[in-house]
Structure 1
Amino acid sequence: MRNGVKSGGAVPVAAVCAVLVLATGGCGVLGSNKGEVCADAKRTVQEYIGRLKEIAANDPAQWKQTTDQYAGRFDALAKESDDKALSKALRDQSARLRAAAAQVGNGDVAALNQTLTETPARLGEACG
């Protein structure tokens, strides 16, 4: 444990970069809000990563709070989406973030690292 955070401290730069290239291509389906929801999901991920960069590595309570907040945003997007597969992917993302938040609150970022690393593929597939 270093600076109060287990598993190396902060989210790896590679995970941040991977999340920022979240694919939203192919989301536009005629008569669907899928493209808009996918674009909002991408912005949400980017905002979340930006917010995480601002939080001190030794402040797990703030990491938890921020992660819980963004989990709620994914829940809201899931409700907004008229695409069932996308709604499920967004609800799953929210659940993963909430599970990771519980561990982050104890100073362990391993689950958060994994969740963020897997986010581009999961949401990219749902938006594709």
Structure 2
Amino acid sequence: MRYGVVRALAGGVLVLGALSGCGMLGGNSGQVCTDTKKAFQQYVTQVRSLPAAEPARWRQATEQLAGRLDGLAKKADDAALKKALKAEAGKLRSAATAVGTGDVSQLNTVMKETPASIGEACD
């Protein structure tokens, strides 16, 4: 799992870079984008501290991120942002199941695609 972990975290760094424009929007969407960026930052920090040999803890962290994105989707006034956040939460939940068995390939894919989907909604 170690190699996959490194790839997943590299994807997380890309997510943070793509969301750097968050907060540029007015009103509620700007705050939701800023909170989304913070959620990903906290996730990356958390999983970097977890041993690669403990996939159950990785699963828990990934499920928590999915829950945070669901909560942010409920707050979002913008329909496109709400949709993007819900979609990412669903993908993360699905990836969390595989992560729990030590397979991070699905998480890698999610982390690679997240910048485009959420970043576009936050622009």
TM-score normalized with structure 2 length: 0.90
1:56-107 Cα deviation digits (max 9, x unpaired): 0010100001100110000000000111110010000100100000000111
Distance in 2 (CA, whole Å) between partners of 1:26 and 1:76 is 18
Q: CA deviation at 1:122?
A: 1.2
Structure with greater proportional helix content: 2
TM-score normalized with structure 1 length: 0.87
Contact 2:23–2:29 (CA<8 Å) still a contact in 1? no
Contact 1:9–1:109 (CA<8 Å) still a contact in 2? yes
Identity between Structure 1 and Structure 2 (%): 45
Unaligned 5+ runs, structure 2: none
Unaligned 5+ runs, structure 1: none
Contact 2:62–2:93 (CA<8 Å) still a contact in 1? yes
Matches within 5 A, 1:78-117: 78-117=73-112
2:58 corresponds in structure 1 to: 63
Distance in 2 (CA, whole Å) between partners of 1:126 and 1:82 is 12
Structure (1 or 2) with the larger CA radius of gyration: 1
2:117 corresponds in structure 1 to: 122
SS at match of 1:33: helix
Contact 2:4–2:108 (CA<8 Å) still a contact in 1? no
Q: CA deviation at 1:22?
A: 2.6
- The alignment's C-alpha RMSD in Å is 1.6
